[in-house]
Amino acid sequence: MASKDIDIRDPLYGFIEFPSSISPILSTLPLIRLTRIKQLAHTYLVYPSAVHTRFEHSIGTYHIAGLMAHKLDFKKEEVENIQLAALLHDIGHGPYSHPFEDVMRYITGDENFSHKRVGEIVIENESSLKKVLSNERRKRVLEIYN
């Protein structure tokens, strides 16, 4: 099945377009997983409207990165790479946001444990991402990501 352009409605930015060259990534497991992780952990218990997810946050980040890259006159392919790196910037997050990293540092004994490093591993190795991103594109996205 051929991929197609997709528009996602964001409450802040309106419709955000995902061209067919990028839209298949929205169906990958790492991004679908972000739909279940709250951006602000348990903040919603005090502020009930603070309920957006890491996925929603990543959609907005993708959009803003694209606006900035266009403004700086990057070529189309590089704009897409920048947007992909922005879209994937949180894929290494666990539940409970950044406090999860403290728990993992304690459990693993690795003082350098971070969601960013987990994200790198996911981008490098996760099979559904490998299906939609060429090796060259993944390499470039990782360069931007770092």
State how far the Cα of 102 lies from the Cα of 111, in Å rounded to an integer: 9
Query: H/E element holding 14?
Result: strand 14-18
Q: Which of 57, 63, 93, 115 is catalytic?
A: 115
Q: How far apart are the first and last CA of the chain?
A: 33
115 in catalytic set: yes
Longest dimension (CA), the chain: 45
Task: Enumerate residues 6+ apart whose C-beta is below 8 A from 50.
Answer: 40, 43, 44
Which of 34, 39, 38, 85 has its CA nearest to residue 55?
Answer: 34
Q: Which residues are catalytic?
A: 115
